[in-house]
Amino acid sequence: MNKLLNLMSAAIIVSALTACASSSPAASSQNPAAQPESGGSLITVGFAQVGAESGWRTANTDSFKSYFTEANGFNLIFSDAQQDQNKQIAAVRDFITQGVDYIDIAPVTTTGWETVLQEAKDAGIPVIISDRKADVAEDLYVTYIGGNFEQEGKDAISWLEGYLAENNRSDEALNFVHLQGTIGADAQIGRTKALDDAVAGAHAGKWTIVAQQTGEFTEAKGQEVMEAILKNNTDVHVVYSENDDMTYGAITALKNAGINHKDVIIISFDGNKKAIQMIIDGDIDCVAECNPLLGPQVGDIIKKLENGETLPKITYSVESVYDIKNAEAHLPDAFGS
């Protein structure tokens, strides 16, 4: 009788252990070889970040590092690619070698990702794409979460059309200086398309882009490019700058050229606290919001995947447009410094 009881209790123990093992999908179905580095109870996430080029990027990195902590059940392996796609791809390969449980990528540019994402798929490691899209087949990543950049641009153009109407300037011929983000980045592609479409379409013959150049999403490059542009263009009516950091540089360049920047309509993207304050101070006219605080949302995606939930392929951030009418109210909630 004792033997039977012993056998039965042994059987119960074995089945309980098997049940535990199969109840953590990350360890079994997604990546059987993966065992988080420390303790075995943490979910190891490799985050391949673009770089540290802007206030937006700093806030985005901070949101990941403050969310993906051991206290929250994660082991974060962070890589800063310094805006170099080769470094970003190498970081993803390193995550694969380390056998992480999940990979998150903010692709510096949309192209060139097929090979390494196929390697991640072959290794059974789910890939989440955040911030900027990658131009790859849908089976190579689980989901995308980030801004709808063409819509941000359309929202900025709509704001400008409203502003011009309010000031009886709708029929005015306007010269635009267009500071683009990193060429090939999803954010640049979308924001540029919105302006290009408006100039070629509804406002053809009235709106002219007198200069269009990348400032690499940095303040220094934005100032440098704007200074060069102003040497050949002093009759500038609108600056359409694809992020706040280039906008800061552009305003410095206008001042250095002896142009009162408050006489120029300045449109920016992101929504750093500094830029929102500059709306209140009259230095910037409009900021189309782009939310960098994606860490907790990516964490929520991973928890849903751990629970075996299915997710939509795309989730866009909910974003607003700020001007003198609503900047004050938004300032306390604006990200960064």
- Our finding on whether 178 is near ligand GZL (CB under 6 A) is no
- Measured from the CB atom, the residue of 36 and 249 that comes closer to ligand GZL is 249
Token readout for 69 is 């902590």
CB-hemisphere CA count at 13 Å for 54? Answer: 32
Under rule CB under 6 A, residue 54 binds ligand GZL: yes
Cβ(213)–Cβ(176) below 8 Å:
no
Nearer of residues 57 and 178 to ligand GZL, judged by Cβ: 57
Among 31, 47, 53, 92, binds ligand GZL (CB under 6 A): 53
Measured from the CB atom, the residue of 34 and 187 that comes closer to ligand GZL is 187
Which residue, judged by CB position, is nearest to ligand GZL in the bound state? 56
Site string for ligand GZL, 210-229 (x = CB under 6 A): -------x------------
Site string for ligand GZL, 130-159 (x = CB under 6 A): -xx-------------xx------------
For ligand GZL, the binding residue among 27, 36, 45, 56 (CB under 6 A) is 56
In angstroms, the first-to-last Cα distance of the chain is: 73
- Least distance from C-beta 243 to ligand GZL, angstroms? 4
Nearer to ligand GZL, 123 or 145 (CB): 145
Stretch that binds ligand GZL, among 48-56, 167-175, 256-264, 277-285 (CB under 6 A): 48-56
Q: Is 223 or 243 the residue whose CB approaches ligand GZL more closely?
A: 243
Nearer residue to ligand GZL within complex by CB, 36 or 292: 292
CB of 106 to ligand GZL, least distance (A): 7
The window from 30-38, 53-61, 302-310, 318-326 that contacts ligand GZL (CB under 6 A) reads 53-61
Contact in structure between 34 and 27 (CB atoms under 8 Å): yes
Minimum CB distance to ligand GZL, residue 233 (Å): 24
Map the chain to HEC letters.
Answer: CHHHHHHHHHHHHHHHHHHHHHHCCHHHHHCCCCCCCCCCCCEEEEEEECCCCCHHHHHHHHHHHHHCCHHHCEEEEEEECCCCHHHHHHHHHHHHHHCCCEEEECCCCCCCCHHHHHHHHHCCCCEEEEECCCCCCHHHCCEEEECCHHHHHHHHHHHHHHHHHHCCCCCCCEEEEEEECCCCCHHHHHHHHHHHHHHHCCCCCCEEEEEEEECCCCHHHHHHHHHHHHHHCCCCCEEEECCHHHHHHHHHHHHHCCCCHHHCEEEEEECEHHHHHHHHCCCCCEEEECCCCCHHHHHHHHHHHHCCCCCCCEEECCCCEECCCCHHHHHHHCECC
Residue 316 or 331: the one with the smaller Cβ distance to ligand GZL is 316
Q: Which of 270, 283, 285, 289 binds ligand GZL (CB under 6 A)?
A: 270
Among 290, 301, 321, 334, binds ligand GZL (CB under 6 A): 290
Where on the chain is the footprint of ligand GZL (CB under 6 A)?
53-54, 56-57, 131-132, 146-147, 187, 217, 243, 269-270, 290
